A and B are shown apart, each in its own frame.
Chain A
């Protein structure tokens, strides 16, 4: 209901804003390739459009086309993520649009409108039509303001502590902080787990940020430390392929036990609790012998969870560590919804449409991933060059020291180089001394 009110409000604002490009009943869209589409509101259309680089489609009724030529927004009411909703699509993002002969058979569709490229147009580039960008201004309170409600989105992918780090989470939080409290931070999680020490840092940071922002986990794969990270979040949404759990902590080949296990169980339960989720289920992700089952009230949907197998629905017996998928995560209430696309996620987040306040999250992610990739490619070469060209050892070792600053986790946790680079510094000094002696 809330979404509908927001949608209606948006439409109302859109109507007030005016800027109609045709008569009250009829619209004309002109696309960058010269083709055009003409039709009435109420026309039933199939629209294929690009969003976030992904081609999507919607069939629905045109409610309104708004904006000045080149910057039109087509509002279509249809099924989005299984719900009736209105979607605003920027004309430059439309790949094709054609009448379906639904409610308005007299639609004057003159041509399939096809934009010249499949990617979103860049307003700065000639030839492309541009969507109306959201504007950012400085508010009286000293915080930045975005003209459209949106999210701070960041992919968080790869092994925790190596590719998926605390540092990037902190960076996106810092970005959100510039806009004041109450921002939505979406972490798209795709990680097989990783380092415990990274989990500790993430724990402190997320516990803190939840006080001022809404933190959302959008799960493709959240195993082990990534499940731990996800559990902190205010909301958890699954992709249909999503999996979350299996957070047994181990060293070498052996799972932790005794006091260590108790402490880890306690912490995991606490994290589930601060995320508003039942700790009984969380404990099943941590140790094989913890159990969980539940009953579900048919009328109210209320879930009662048991730390044993007395419930009607089994989640985890005493032989298995728990990994949740969409079905059981939704049914037991651990997941708040299912979204495979950003549009679907926007609906679940009660946003009128998917909008990223800025691309800082993607950039933060890409920057670190690029750094990791470069490090993985360079260090083996550097080691080979060290062997082949000992006369260049000082230069190469200095470069290696530089990589300690740039990409420490890859060097230490993945390539098993010593955690402390100090011996490398000493080696450089020693080489310098030897060469000085040789010169003398």
Chain B
């Protein structure tokens, strides 16, 4: 596959024509086995840490191993800002990618190691920690208008330390971990430093096809001269600088650039991921409703109806607990939005059970000969 002629041009007509010429040659070579290549598209859309979560990709890996595609395309669309996938308003902080670097690292490692087909990253849009995923594959394409932004999030994770040595320790530890993703993708450390650390500049020098990156403005092409902001890449800049192999409008375009004039798309992975996202988000919405119900019932739990309403509230909380256990994404969002972990939910439920038990014992105790005298009806115990 020859990419080089495409690197320095966007997908203009001329570019397409040239690409067609280049690709058709490859296509002829590939056509000898009379088999249409199979492409398996894996969406990575939405919030990092919930929509994009290892639990669903474990399933995708199993499916892809059965399908045995020729090409796997990761379709990344995860932007912390100017993103209206699920919400009418933009920039909802609750929808920002979660700071789970270790989890993302395991995810990319698993995809790299367990799947042996050609793997291609297609960035439709990426702002935030998703850009670490984008840069974890050496063969990357971007959509027109796509952003490869937002890795300032990595250095922000180290904020809040006043001692300069401790601050530097935390910063460089996080940035080092972040750069691990770029190294997996075969990108230079200098790019990572500039994309994660505002005070770093970035320029590149070209010697033939070889690009040398430096964290200063002395190169032939200055990418980022701002010492107060990180380097970000638009699709065209990424292509010009050789980070992206090309700019594409759709899957047809991408496959064409990959050297396949025709292909079969297997959609099972795409459907699995889309269903997962739909399911966990619907479940999470239900949890919010169950929680509101539980709060209301707890408010009503006094007098003669106390046990009934406590029991009903407990049932609502148990539904939330089950949802958290079924979907790690629900658990993660529950923790983030409501500040309650699975363990805390369990403790809360156990507390209600005890309270109900106390009430029952208190109510029945008086009627039993020689029975448990009760412990005061449990009225003094909170949740």
Contact = CB atoms under 8 A, between A and B. Distances in A.
B65 interface: yes
B169 A250 contact: yes
Given A325-B176, A325-B183, A384 B350 contact: yes
Interface in A313-329: 319-328
B105 interface: yes
A192 B173 contact: yes
B177 interface: yes
B109 to A, nearest CB: 6
Nearest to B108: A241
Nearest to B114: A55
The residue in B113, B162, B168, B381 that gathers the most chain A C-beta atoms within 10 A of its C-beta is B168
Given A253-B162, A388-B351, A380 B343 contact: yes
B188 interface: yes
A357 interface: no
B165 interface: yes
Interface string A333-355: 00000001100000000000000
Interface in B323-379: 343-344, 346-347, 350-351, 354
A14 B220 CA distance: 58
Nearest to A391: B375
A327 B351 contact: no
Contacts of A72: none
B165 A248 contact: yes
B165 A321 contact: yes
Given A327-B189, A381-B347, A255 B172 contact: no
A313 B223 CA distance: 21
B172 A321 contact: yes
A185 interface: no
Interface string A233-270: 00000011111111110100111000000000000000
A54 B114 contact: yes
Contacts, number: 123
A190 B102 CA distance: 9
Given A221-B177, A325-B179, A384-B347, A250 B172 contact: no
Given A248-B168, A288-B165, A377-B343, A223 B189 contact: no
Interface in A185-234: 190, 192-193, 220-221, 223-224
Given A245-B173, A288-B165, A384 B351 contact: yes
B112 interface: yes
Contacts of B346: 381
B300 interface: no
A240 B172 contact: no
B114 A322 contact: no
Contact of A243 (B109, B168, B180, B381): B180
Contacts of B189: 325, 327-328
B156 interface: no
Interface in B224-267: none
B143 to A, nearest CB: 26
Contacts of B179: 243, 325
Given A341-B113, A388-B351, A388-B381, A324 B176 contact: yes
A20 interface: no
A376 to B, nearest CB: 8
Given A323-B176, A377-B343, A241 B109 contact: yes
Nearest to A381: B347
A247 to B, nearest CB: 8
B184 interface: yes
* Residue from B102, B172, B179 having most chain A Cβ neighbours under 10 A: B172
A319 B173 CA distance: 14
Count chain A CB atoms within 10 A of each CB in B62, B169, B172, B175 and give the residue with the most.
B169
B108 A321 contact: no
B113 A255 contact: no
Contact of A323 (B165, B173, B347): B173
B218 to A, nearest CB: 13
B116 A57 contact: yes
Contacts of B163: 250, 253-255
Nearest to A255: B165
A48 interface: yes
B181 interface: yes
B366 to A, nearest CB: 19
A388 B347 CA distance: 11
Contacts of B164: 255, 288
Q: A239, A319, A323, A376 — which one has the most chain B CB atoms within 10 A of its CB? A: A323
Contacts of A319: 168
A376 B343 CA distance: 9
Contact of B184 (A223, A241, A323, A341): A241
Contacts of B105: 220-221, 241
A221 B179 CA distance: 12
A249 B114 CA distance: 38
A56 interface: yes
A193 B172 CA distance: 13
Contacts of A54: 113-114
Interface in B94-111: 102, 105, 108-109
Contacts of B172: 245-246, 320-323
A315 B361 CA distance: 70
Interface centre among A193, A243, A381 (most CB of B within 10 A): A243
B166 to A, nearest CB: 5
A246 B169 contact: yes
B85 interface: no
B116 A323 contact: no
A381 B350 contact: yes
A250 B176 contact: no
Contact of B168 (A321, A328, A377, A388): A321
A240 B168 contact: no
Contacts of B102: 190, 221
B206 interface: no
10 contacts: A54-B114, A223-B176, A239-B180, A243-B176, A243-B180, A244-B176, A253-B162, A254-B163, A388-B351, A388-B381
Q: Which 9 A-B pairs have the closest CB atoms?
A: A323-B176, A241-B180, A255-B165, A243-B176, A248-B169, A246-B173, A57-B116, A321-B168, A240-B184
Interface of B: 62, 65, 102, 105, 108-109, 112-114, 116, 161-166, 168-173, 175-177, 179-181, 183-184, 188-189, 343-344, 346-347, 350-351, 354, 381
Given A55-B114, A247-B169, A381-B347, 17 more contacts: A118-B65, A240-B184, A241-B184, A246-B172, A248-B168, A255-B169, A287-B165, A321-B172, A323-B172, A323-B176, A324-B176, A325-B183, A326-B180, A340-B109, A380-B343, A381-B346, A384-B351
